[in-house]
Amino acid sequence: MPDPMFQGGQIMKIGFLTVALGNTSIEEIVKWASKEGFEALEVATWPLVNERDFSSTTIDVDQLDKSKIDRIKALFEKNSMIISSLAYYDNNLDANLEKRKKINEHLRKVIDAASLLGVELVGTFIGRDITKSVEQNLEEFEKVFKPLITYAESKNVKLMIENCPMVGWQEHEKVGNIFYSPQLWREIFRITPASFGLNYDPSHLFWLGIDYIKVIEEFSERIFHVHAKDVEINRQTLYEQGIFGYYGTNLHGKSWWIYRLPGLGEINWEALSKTLRKAGYDFVISIEHEDPVWAGETERSKIGLRMGHEFLRKLF
């Protein structure tokens, strides 16, 4: 592997999304992560009671006060780590307007928490009103997100969206998050300020057949944060089922592809690293651990995170 010092620019910080360690306390996560050589955490801030899979509550934004804020800041400073982003990925366009309101209100609390913690980024999903077309959802996006973006700006916080299509999230075979392709990004970025951006994840782009390198070149100014997640293609299953696959009871509709830790799938990480640097990105590479091979017990997830860190450190 090439030495990152010879690729131009500074060495980027390697971190991970804390969902990987479930509801382990923030104190335990920070101390373990620092000891393992991680420099950043993407901190989960879902409500304690929520309906999302792949969620956790590392910081409970409903229970934050000044003493807790000060304690969290001191914890990260003492362990030479940063919070790269607060994470709350839910359906901000939920067709159930009562649910939508609660999700939007919680997102505002996460923005408040980010502001108090001195964290610039909050990651979320746009989501989708599943009863409406993608075009109609773009209209819903404007109504819901323009006030949220303005609110975030007033708190010196930037909102960013992960590019996961969330197929089958609300209804089988339907896209659940209308922020998955360059065509849609262009339309959304056209009507939003520069404070609204992308949490770039190459794994989704790969299985969708989208050039994940070209995306960096075109949207470099809107890439605020990077998820390190790989994807493995089962070509025999793809041959048998085609790109639509067999959905069965799988929530996200995947059958011929699975998410893997960085380096265990088909993403060209060396090319990705070089392109990010050329585009001027020098912030955090955050492992989003959804690899079923290394999931389950906390200790097993930690092994997976170690493996991901070791691989990425050689490139970033």
pLDDT at 10: 61
Print burial letters for 175-196: b (CB count within 10 Å at least 16), e (below 16): bbbbbbbeebbebbbeebeebb
Res 247: pLDDT: 55
Global pTM value: 0.94
Contacts of 14 (CB under 8 A, 6+ apart): 37, 38, 39, 40, 228, 284, 285, 286, 287, 309, 312, 313, 316
Q: Give φ, ψ of 223 to 5 degrees.
A: -85, 105
- Predicted local confidence at residue 128, as pLDDT: 98
CATH class of the structural domain 4-313? alpha beta
Q: How far is CA 63 from the centre of its chain?
A: 24
Packing angle of the helix pair 269-278, 212-219 (nearest 10 deg): 10
Low-confidence ranges of the chain (pLDDT < 50): 1-8, 251-253
Whole-number pLDDT of residue 6:
35
Q: What is the pLDDT of residue 50?
A: 85
- Cα 103 to Cα 149, 162, 204, 213, 281, distances in angstroms: 15, 17, 24, 33, 31
d(CA 103, CA 91): 7
